Amino acid sequence: MNPIPLENGKYYHIYNRGNNGIDLFFETENYNHFLRLYTKYIDPIAETYAWCLMRNHFHILVYIKEIDEIDVSTLEYSSTDKPKAISASKQFSNLFNAYTLAMNKRYKRTGSLFEKNFRRKLVSSDAYFQKLIFYIHNNPVHHKFTETIIEYPWTSYGTVISKKTTKLQREKVIETFHDVENFIYCHTIDHDLGEIEDLIIE
């Protein structure tokens, strides 16, 4: 069954893992390359609120821009043919395909890297939105990669609490938690994640 296409003007949790649970990232440069491709394919069509790259899976929280919010001149496609319509789902597919091609070439491997269809879940409430930001940033702790959130380098947590220039929607994220101090505090306490338990990727 084909997944429902991403709709403009809506918030989504995008996530997936390596095909049959295989690793997606083998060394530091892989994470950096994925983020470069993300900037190329996704930044023009979406606002990013949180992200986490784990060794064999990832989580991203995005807002898919309305068509009139997209600067078409910045769009990158996977082929030279300009598509008839701008598709957020296609742009994500372009990202994953480009990353797979790069990894296959670099490590002399063949075949799919990601599970067939990336998963997406509509974010339908402010409470869910806030819990999801915590869940994404807490993923390395949940999977016992680190003891604290701040220790893990491949999430947006460090960007939120920093002052460096970023395309991440830092101000809107902080506003969701009222201020940066409360953002940090809310990332140190336990949360009831019952409504997003189905998102946990082991």
- pLDDT tens figures, 70-124: 877 777 665 555 656 789 999 999 999 999 999 999 999 999 999 988 999 999 8
Between helix 88-106 and helix 28-41 the angle, nearest 10°, is 150
Q: Output helix, strand, coil percentages for the chain, rounded to the nearest 5.
A: 45, 15, 45
Is residue 167 over pLDDT 60? yes
Share of the chain above pLDDT 70, in %: 89
Over residues 14-31, the pLDDT tens digits come to: 999 999 999 999 999 999
* pLDDT at residue 196 greater than cutoff 80: no
